[in-house]
Amino acid sequence: MAQSSFIDIITPIMVGPSSSHTAGAVRLGLLARNVYDASPHKVTFRLYNSYAQTGFGHGTDKGLLAGVLGFAVDDKRIRHIFEQPEAKQIAYEFQYLEDFNRHPNAVDFIFEGDLNMFVAGDSVGAGEVVIRKINEFSVKFTGKFNTLLLVYRDVPGMISRVTKVIQEKNINIASLHCDRYAKGEEASMCICVDGELDEEILKLIEGIENLYLVRYVRKLEH
Amino acid sequence: MIEKDINSFEQLYKACNIANVSIYKLAQTREAYLSEKTENEVREIVKRSLEAMKDAIKSGLNSNELSLSGMCGADCERLQKRFQRKPALFGNTFEKITAYALATSEENLRMGKIVACPTAGSCGIVPSVLVAVGENFNISEYEQINALITAGEIGRIVSNKVALAGAVAGCQAECGVASAMSAGAVCQMLGGSNKQILNAVALALKNLLGLTCDPVCGLVEIPCVKRNPFLAIHAVTAAELALADIESKIPLDEIVDALEQTGKLMSPTLKESSQAGLAKTKTALELEKSLFKK
């Protein structure tokens, strides 16, 4: 059986009041920010189900915005995030919806700016989160591993070309998730790795043909 | 050589006996090995949590700011005022434990910085007992860290069987486990043996089986905040009994099994979904209505 750690029981240090509705919201925001990796003009947050119903009392809206702005889960300024100078530099909007096909704690981030992007994720309990969708692609990563995200033209050999670069640097792949729009059109790849991908590896990967988007999303501090 | 594969309290107890060490020592050696850190690095992480706990108590004692919902936040101030007028029946340590537990829990709901130990809703229990007993019985920081490691190891072993989440097993798995962790921490600080520590955990946990999670308006406020000081004192009761060599007739691992079974049998309406219990009382429904108007 996988060995658990007592450190998990006596951490994280976080701002309250809820690990799923506050700390989880910040962590989802942080991951979405790293996926977007640019300065948005506007962010629209769509909160679903329990996030929509009890988000007000849990500061879920504040947590999501704080994450997108790069605040850590234990930053006491989150309570007054709307008054922070960082929050005044972008436009943002919150929408509250019900959709029982979605997770009880689901959220969409709609980024508008020089690049437009849609990111969706769930807060799955105890502060753990999963990013499920980027634009129209399904993905799956949790912020527990350093993750390489790729959007590319669906041509034969793409997975082997990318994983070859990673393997040649002797880095282990923890999980691999692929999805595509239609044969020969856009596809996505989500690779969680043990260890770090350095500048050199990322350069090599960026050099591969038919790639539209490359993002290296670092794991979240616990 | 210390045993690394420890998933039950019986394994823990045996491994400590073979190595002739305390629970905290075994846990810290094991953690260092598994996370490829030195024991000092592991203790440094624990120290950060301990310091954050003390900071939360300090901020909480000095604030009466209400939560976002406005339902809670000023009770720690009330309690401190009463103790200034009239000391508690059970003395200063009782005053500190109850005040520190409320201080931390209120700090949590006003979006202050706390340690989720093991969860945010139960965040006042371990710190209140640890810090109050630490202060009043001259327990060094080194020994407080030992006690927090002991508490963490207890929580870890329970969590191997039951997720520490109200939605999975009710409040017995959140505040209940926090109280059991605290009972073990107090025993460790007061020089209890490994056997006494595990009996304290057993006695605390056994007497909280069946505790449901029925938060009013779905928020971590009612009854969570006031439950923290109650279960902090509960932990001390368990520790006192265990230090007198009173044993739990049911072994700790079997109590954890009972907790898991009770959690499974508990109606989903009583597991953090706010569909029954306190959450559906007349007053709770009125509170819900007035909140949603805002």
List the pLDDT tens digit at each of the 294 positions of chain B.
567 789 999 999 999 999 999 999 999 999 999 988 999 999 999 999 999 999 999 999 999 999 989 999 999 999 999 999 999 999 999 999 999 999 999 999 999 999 999 999 999 999 999 999 999 999 999 999 999 999 999 999 999 999 999 988 999 999 999 999 999 999 999 999 999 999 999 999 999 999 999 999 999 999 999 999 999 999 999 999 999 999 999 999 999 999 999 999 999 999 988 899 999 999 999 999 998 765
Sign of the Cα torsion B123, B125, B128, B131 reads: negative
Q: Check whether residue A33 and residue A94 sit in a common domain.
A: yes
DSSP single-letter state for residue A2: P
Q: Cβ contact (<8 Å) for A57 and B4?
A: no
How far is CA A154 from its chain centroid? 23
CB pairs < 8 Å spanning A and B: 141
Task: Note whether residue B135 is domain-resident.
Answer: yes
Instruction: Identify the pLDDT of residue A45.
Output: 98
From B14's Cα to the closest Cα of chain A, the distance in A is 18
Rounded distance between C-alpha atoms, residue B56 and residue B113, angstroms: 6
- pLDDT at position B294, please? 54
Measured between its terminal Cα atoms, the distance across chain A in Å is 22
Q: Tell me the pLDDT tens digit for each residue of A90-125.
A: 999 999 999 989 998 999 999 999 999 999 999 988
Residue keyed to tokens 């919150």: A94
pLDDT on residue B106: 98
- Please report the pLDDT score of residue B160 as a whole number: 93
Phi and psi at residue B246, in whole multiples of 5°?
A: -80, 130
Out of A135, A154, A174, a domain closes at A135
Q: Which helix (H) or strand (E) holds B222?
A: none
A26 domain residue, yes or no: yes
Calpha distance B120→B56 (Å, rounded)? 12
Cα separation, B49 vs B29, in Å, equals 18
| Same domain (yes/no): A97, A193 | no
Same domain, A20 and A110: yes
Chain A interface, best mutation among B12, B113, B146, by max A CB count within 10 A? B113
CA dist B291 and B260 (Å) reads 34
- Provide the 8-state DSSP code for B213: B
The residue range of the domain holding A40 is 7-135
For residue B219, give the nearest of A13, A57, A78 by CB distance. A57
Write the residue in B42, B68, B113 that is nearest to A76 by C-beta. Answer: B113
Question: Do both A119 and A186 map to the same domain?
Answer: no
Residue B16, domain extent = 9-293
Torsion, Cα B265 B268 B273 B276, to 10 degrees, reads: -90
**Interchain proximity B111–A3, CB inside 8 Å:** no
Residue B4 inside a domain? The answer is no
- pLDDT at position A3, please? 74
Q: In A, what residues contact B, Cβ < 8 A? A: 1, 3-19, 22-23, 50, 53-54, 56-59, 62, 74, 76, 78-79, 125-127
Structure tokens at A138: 């399904």
State the sign of the Cα–Cα–Cα–Cα dihedral B187, B188, B193, B194.
positive
Residue A181 lies in a domain: yes
Within a domain: residue A119? yes
Residue A103 lies in a domain: yes
- pLDDT above 90 (res A36): yes
- Chain B residues whose CB is inside 8 A of the A4 CB are 156, 159-160
Quick one: how far is CA A144 from the chain centroid? 11
Cα of first residue to Cα of last residue in chain B, in angstroms, is 60
Domain-terminating residue out of A112, A135, A158: A135
Residue of B111, B144, B222, B293 to mutate, testing the A interface (most A Cβ within 10 Å of its Cβ): B111
CATH value at residue A13: 3.30.1330.90
From residue B9, alpha-carbon distances to A6, A189, B164, B250, B256 in Å are 14, 43, 17, 13, 10
What lies within 8 Å, CB to CB, of B22 at 6+ separation is B16, B146, B150, B188, B194
Average confidence (pLDDT) over A6-13: 94
Average pLDDT, chain A: 92
- Which residues have C-beta within 8 Å of that of residue A210, sequence separation ≥ 6? A152, A153, A155, A158
* pLDDT tens profile B26-76: 999 999 999 889 999 999 999 999 999 999 999 999 999 999 899 999 999
| Closest residue in chain A to residue B147, using alpha carbons only | A10
Domain stops at, among A104, A135, A166: A135
Residues A121 and A203 in one domain: no
Asked whether residue A153 is assigned to any structural domain, the reply reads yes
Query: How far is Cα A63 from Cα A32, in angstroms, rounded to an integer?
Result: 13
pLDDT at B30: 95
Q: Rg of the Cα trace of chain B?
A: 19
Residue B37 CA to residue B27 CA, distance in Å, equals 13
The CATH number covering residue B46 comes to 1.10.4100
Distance, CA of A9 to CA of B156 (rounded, Å): 6
Which segments of chain A are extended strands (E)?
A: 13-15, 42-48, 91-97, 106-112, 117-125, 128-134, 137-141, 146-153, 173-180, 186-193, 211-217
CATH of the domain at A171: 3.30.70.260
Q: Residues of A with CB below 8 A from B110's CB?
A: 16-17, 79
Q: Do A19 and B120 touch (CB under 8 A)?
A: yes
Check whether A27 has a pLDDT greater than 80: yes
Phi, psi of A52 (to 5 degrees): -75, -40
User: Does position A1 have pLDDT exceeding 60, yes or no?
Assistant: no
Closest to B280 in 3D by CA, of B214, B211, B210, B212: B214
Domain count, chain B: 1
Q: Phi first, then psi: what are they for A133, rounded to 5°?
A: -150, 140
Q: CA dist A219 to A30, A122, A144, A179, B132, Å?
A: 10, 16, 5, 22, 36
Is-contact A71 A26, C-beta < 8 A? yes
Q: What b/e readout covers B104-122, taking b as 16+ CB neighbours within 10 angstroms?
A: bbbbbbbbbbbbbbbbbbb
Q: Which two tokens stand for residue B233?
A: 């004192």
Say whether both A70 and A152 belong to one domain. Answer: no
Q: Which CA distances in Å does B77 have to A142, A198, B63, B83, B117?
A: 40, 52, 7, 10, 23
Strand duo A137-141 + A128-134: pairing = antiparallel
